[in-house]
């Protein structure tokens, strides 16, 4: 659970000014005492609520789901009372810190709904998340069932069989996508009602308000426009490599790429195509998956290796409760769990955990650093008031682990920790490394950008309910240059096959983080006195100077507007794609040269093209999940007004 607090300072100030007009308590000493009391009680309430959520996420049962919903109602009542008490103060002459804290308490998100609708929203969201977490793809006889983690994920990562990939891709969407459609329509209505109760026009506006900027869509659009040429050159190069494997029947060199061929269930990362795309196959690869297996790494050792990187910078080690209570492997006792990796702050300044069904791969090795970055951020700001225990903006929280992973992924660092035998210091080896990074970082950019553009259009009504799947593929083709491998209709609801959609997790934070992590990396490399090499070679491992610079920013939490946090670490106050462009410049130049030599078409002018039907004419897999049926029966009974 990425721990980002919902922060609406501007709205808080407006609300407090309105309160001023009717006359309120102007005693700042009393306001500070109220905030102190809230902090103590708020930690207690939040801890209990988080425990219920953890129990459900690590043991999905009807009982645990309903217990979590009931507890959320108690938390909502507490939030409503805190807002009412905060609204009694006239903060005109209060200190900026007191004004900021009171402003946060005035906007309470979904808790602002009436109890019946808040309970319904919790039920709808839990229903979608349960469906996602327990979904399986089975054969036509209802046997040989496969879960997303690790089964389908491994298939997407390793198979080059067109039909096998199609069956996994299509089967997963049949299992968890289409059945979520009606739930999601109701979710949109309820989330918009909650946003209005927080003085916003719709939920998209509410989510954007957390960034405290005038025009977030405009800001990210400018960043994406700056980065789009990098993506289109990578896309053209990868499309040619896939053409060499699958031929013209399934790849059009002037069209979008079939979504199931890119090594990932959502085509958001192309890292699993490294074997097909490595610029110089005779030079070493930085894929350490075989080494992790050979050296008998398990999940615990991977987490310990990550922890050692953080402490080498002088940052805070994971506390003992982290090791005692985290779920770092998929349980083998028959429990259904939410496998999607997440970091949890239990708000009591002691208990921090990660939930991850770890596989022994380089991808998961990097994911561990990402999730532990969340925990490190939580640890650094744990002494802030509860309302300030969040990232400077949501993208900051996502960037922290990733910025350290930029060092961890370097050949220099992997050799230092015994996961790479040699570092070949020449341009060809460098291009191999940069390609491995681009398949993750550059390939992700349009996906990270479009996810919330899509949802914003649902929330503001510009995409009607009878066009939800059509709009999804319109944006995925427009920005990513991918196409579904088979015709989709409004009977499908493919967005719900991605965790963050049914789980109610905003996504533009990831696009933001993929930009600012390179700004952070550049600043930390300067602090570590590593400016004599290209940015992509920098490894800040063991630099206490870099660790101190990072720690000083992290400890602020959300107590200051994010431009102040940005300035503290980078010396500038704006998001800037320049460092990302610089990092990948040698690869970009090489890709341009390759694409020019091959007369590649940048982009996908034949955007409506689709591949031929798979050899069998369709999927041979069907959805099979008896637990889902039981859960949905319960939801139907409890929330009959919706259904």
Q: Write out pLDDT tens, residues 345-360.
A: 999 999 999 999 999 9
pLDDT digits (tens, 9 = 90+) for 173-214: 999 999 999 999 999 999 999 999 999 999 999 999 999 999
pLDDT at 108 over 70: yes
Q: Name, in order, each residue with C-beta under 8 angstroms of 632's C-beta and a sequence gap of 6 or more.
A: 127, 131
- Three-state DSSP string of 120-167: HHHHHHHHHHHHHHHCEEEECCCCCCEEHHHHHHHHHHHCCCHHHHHH
Active site residues: 340-341, 370-371, 374, 398, 500, 510
DSSP reduced 3-state for 354: strand
DSSP of 447-483, one letter per residue? HHHHHHHHHHHHHTTSS-GGGHHHHHHHHIIIII-EE
- Whole-number pLDDT of residue 631: 39
Confidence of residue 642 (pLDDT cuts 50, 70, 90): very low
The answer, yes or no, to whether residue 26 has pLDDT greater than 60, is: yes
Residue 368 neighbours by CB distance under 10 Å: 25
Residue 533 has pLDDT above 80, yes or no: yes
Q: What is the pLDDT of residue 317?
A: 98
Structure confidence at residue 141 as a pLDDT band (50, 70, 90): confident
Tell me if 190 is assigned to some domain: no
At residue 616 the predicted structure's pLDDT band, cuts being 50, 70 and 90, is low
Helix axes 508-527, 394-408, angle to 10 degrees: 50
- Does 228 reside within a domain? yes
Mean pLDDT value across residues 601-628: 70
Q: Which residues pair with 38 in a beta bridge?
A: none
d(CA 606, CA 77): 54
Q: Is the pLDDT of residue 602 over 70?
A: yes
CATH of residue 219's domain is 1.10.1370
pLDDT surpasses 90 at 621: no
Q: Are 165 and 246 in contact (CB under 8 A)?
A: no
pLDDT category of residue 620 using cuts at 50, 70 and 90: very low
d(Cα 364, Cα 372) in Å, to the nearest integer?
12
Higher pLDDT, 456 or 623: 456
How many domains does one find in the chain?
1
State the first-to-last Cα distance of the chain, in angstroms, to the nearest integer: 29
pLDDT of residue 439: 97
613 lies in some domain: no
**Residue 152: domain span:** 131-182+215-607+618-631
Rounded to an integer, the average pLDDT of 123-136 is 96
Least confident of 134-148, 291-305, 368-382, 461-475: 134-148
For residue 140, what pLDDT is reported?
A: 84
Confidence of residue 639 (pLDDT cuts 50, 70, 90): very low
The confidence score (pLDDT) of residue 586 equals: 98
Q: Is the pLDDT of residue 5 over 50?
A: no
Residue 6 scores a pLDDT above 60: no
Which pLDDT value is given to residue 14? 43
Residues 476, 518, 260, CA angle at the centre, nearest 5°? Answer: 25
pLDDT at 2 over 80: no
Residue for token pair 């979710």: 187
Quick check: is 526 in a domain? yes
Residue 601's pLDDT is: 95
Answer whether residue 640 shows pLDDT above 90.
no
Write the CB contacts of 233 (distance below 8 Å, at least 6 apart in sequence): 588, 591, 592, 595, 602
Is residue 33 domain-resident? no
The contacts found for 37-45 with CB under 8 angstroms, 24 or more apart, are 38/82, 38/85, 38/105, 38/386, 39/385, 39/386, 39/387, 41/78, 42/78, 42/82, 42/347, 42/386, 42/387, 43/347, 43/348, 43/349, 43/386, 44/348, 45/74, 45/75, 45/78
Per the domain annotation, does 394 fall within a domain?
yes
- Secondary structure of residue 314 in the 3-state scheme: coil
Going by pLDDT thresholds of 50, 70 and 90, the confidence category of residue 368 is very high
Cβ(335)–Cβ(348) under 8 Å?
A: no
CA distance 22 to 10: 20
List, edge to edge, every strand of the sheet that includes 621-623. 146-147, 136-139, 621-623
285: pLDDT confidence band, cut at 50, 70 and 90?
confident
Question: Which pLDDT does position 437 carry in this prediction?
Answer: 96
Bridge partners of 25, per DSSP, are 89
The pLDDT of 571-578, averaged and rounded, is 96
Cα 200 to chain centroid distance, Å, stands at: 24
Pick 628 or 582 by higher pLDDT. 582
Under 8 Å between Cβ of 548 and 314: yes
The answer to whether residue 270 sits within a structural domain is yes
Q: What is the band of 425 on the pLDDT scale with cuts at 50, 70, 90?
A: confident
Asked, for residue 43, whether it belongs to a domain, the answer is: no
pLDDT above 90: residue 19: no
Q: How confident is the model at residue 219 (pLDDT cuts 50, 70, 90)?
A: very high
pLDDT surpasses 80 at 572: yes
Beta strands 482-483 and 257-258: pairing type? Answer: parallel
Hey, is 625 helix, strand or coil? coil
pLDDT value at residue 485: 97
């Amino acid at each position: 659970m990425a721990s980002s607090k919902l922060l609406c300072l501007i709205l808080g100030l407006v609300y407090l000014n309105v309160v001023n007009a009717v006359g309120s308590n102007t005693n700042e000493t009393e306001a500070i005492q109220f905030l102190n009391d809230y902090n103590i009680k708020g930690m207690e309430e939040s801890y209990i609520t988080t425990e219920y959520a953890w129990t459900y996420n690590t043991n999905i049962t009807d009982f645990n789901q309903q217990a979590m919903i009931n507890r959320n109602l108690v938390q909502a009542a507490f939030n409503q009372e805190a807002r009412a008490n905060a609204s009694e103060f006239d903060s005109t002459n209060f200190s900026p810190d007191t004004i900021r804290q009171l402003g946060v308490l005035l906007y309470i998100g979904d808790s602002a709904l009436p109890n019946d609708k808040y309970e319904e929203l919790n039920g709808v969201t839990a229903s979608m998340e349960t469906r996602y977490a327990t979904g399986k793809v089975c054969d036509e006889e209802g046997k040989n069932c496969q879960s997303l983690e690790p089964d389908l994920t491994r298939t997407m990562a390793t198979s080059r069989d067109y039909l096998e990939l199609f069956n996994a891709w299509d089967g997963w969407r049949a299992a968890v996508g289409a059945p979520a459609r009606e739930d999601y329509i109701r979710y949109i209505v309820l989330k918009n009602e909650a946003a209005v109760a927080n003085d916003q026009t719709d939920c998209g506006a509410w989510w954007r308000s957390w960034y405290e900027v005038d025009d977030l869509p405009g800001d990210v659009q400018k960043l994406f426009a700056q980065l789009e040429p990098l993506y289109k050159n990578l896309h053209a190069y990868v499309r040619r490599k896939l053409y060499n494997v699958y031929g013209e029947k399934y790849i059009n060199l002037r069209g979008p790429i079939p979504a199931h061929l890119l090594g990932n269930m959502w085509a958001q990362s192309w890292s699993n195509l490294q074997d097909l795309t490595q610029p110089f196959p005779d030079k070493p690869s930085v894929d350490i998956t075989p080494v992790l297996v050979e050296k008998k790494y398990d999940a615990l050792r991977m987490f310990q290796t990550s922890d050692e990187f953080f402490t080498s910078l002088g940052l805070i080690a994971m506390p003992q409760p982290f090791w005692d209570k985290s779920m770092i492997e998929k349980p083998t006792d028959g429990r259904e769990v939410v496998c999607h990796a997440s970091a949890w702050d239990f708000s009591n300044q002691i208990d921090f955990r990660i939930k991850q069904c770890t596989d022994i791969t380089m991808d998961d090795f990097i994911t561990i650093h990402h999730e532990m970055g969340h925990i490190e951020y939580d640890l650094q700001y744990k002494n802030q008031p509860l309302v300030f225990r969040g990232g400077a903006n949501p993208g900051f929280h996502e960037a922290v682990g990733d910025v350290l992973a930029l060092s961890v992924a370097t050949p220099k660092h992997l050799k230092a920790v015994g996961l790479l035998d040699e570092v070949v210091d020449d341009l060809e080896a460098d291009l191999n490394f940069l390609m491995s990074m681009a398949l993750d970082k550059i390939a992700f950019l349009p996906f990270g950008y479009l996810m919330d553009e899509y949802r914003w259009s649902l929330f503001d009504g510009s995409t009607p309910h009878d066009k939800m799947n059509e709009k999804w593929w319109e944006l995925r083709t427009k920005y990513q240059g991918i196409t579904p491998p088979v015709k989709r209709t409004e009977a499908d609801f493919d967005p719900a096959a991605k965790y963050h959609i049914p789980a109610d997790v905003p996504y533009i934070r990831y696009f933001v983080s993929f930009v600012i992590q390179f700004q952070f990396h550049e600043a930390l490399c300067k602090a570590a006195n590593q400016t004599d090499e290209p940015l992509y070679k920098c490894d800040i491992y063991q630099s206490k100077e870099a660790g101190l610079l990072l720690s000083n920013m992290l400890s602020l939490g959300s107590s200051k507007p994010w431009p102040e946090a940005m300035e503290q670490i980078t010396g500038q106050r704006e998001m800037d794609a320049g460092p990302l462009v610089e990092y990948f410049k040698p690869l970009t130049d090489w890709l341009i040269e390759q694409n020019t030599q091959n007369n590649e078409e940048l982009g996908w002018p034949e955007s409506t093209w689709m591949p031929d039907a798979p050899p069998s004419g369709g999927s041979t897999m069907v959805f099979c999940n008896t637990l889902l049926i039981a859960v949905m029966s319960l939801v139907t009974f409890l929330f009959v007004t919706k259904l």
